[in-house]
Amino acid sequence: MNSLSVLKLNLESLYGLFRLARDPGATRYVFMIGDAQDTLAESARLGGEMRDPFSDADLETLWQERYCPPPYPVEQLLQLDPATLGGTYARHMTTRGLRPDYYAKETPRHKLHYLRLRIHQTHDIWHTLTGFGTDPAGEVGLQGFYFAQFTNGQAAMIFAGAILKSILRRRYGELERFVEVFCEGFSNGRRARPMLGVTWELLWHERVDALRRRFDIDAAR
């Protein structure tokens, strides 16, 4: 990738970061940052300049199959025991008014873009497993967990945006909280087993506590 392209993508990321700091609910800027950072990361991955998440055989298999199940049947999953992954996930979604088809369906352009789409699809499953909430601090904590699982420019920039927002609004208690939860997420993610290549959709009937033990996931405090 030439230097002009790198500059353009980084400027897009910085613009998205600034807009996100002003309005954390403007998710279109999260997508802008993600698209730019994925393209930069794919170039770095191909050049051997970063740890390749697709060295995980399970994730590579998902990519080769272009694995992309349909939106999760939340109403059906509500019938499962609340202690199961499917039951916990379905209650997480319904109590917060969230939709499993929130993200538009896309055709992956390259490996890192596929990984981003897969993370979009499983984002609330990871919330369920890690114990991080969907409030701003919980989202920052989950980004720390993601960052520990793979080199992730978007996660770092969302964290930076949260810090910038707190500084600009002089909310120093909030600033401390964001740093604390990102570090907790990062620490938990480093201790956990690799999770990017797991087909969680095949594990709906398993208990959340058993899955946490299997993958060495410490629930967020």
10-residue averages of pLDDT along the chain (221 residues): 88 88 81 91 93 96 96 97 98 95 87 96 97 96 97 91 91 97 98 98 98 98 89
- The CA distance from 162 to 140, in Å, is 8
Nearest to residue 147, comparing CAs of 106, 121, 183?
Answer: 183
pTM of the predicted model as reported, rounded to 2 decimal places: 0.92
- Tokens encoding 47: 């050049």
Of 11, 32, 37, the closest CA to residue 20 belongs to: 32
Give the up-direction half-sphere exposure of residue 48: CA atoms within 13 A in the CB hemisphere. Answer: 0
Domain positions in the chain are: 52-214
Q: What is the pLDDT of residue 31?
A: 86
How far is 221 from 206, CA to CA, in rounded Å? 22
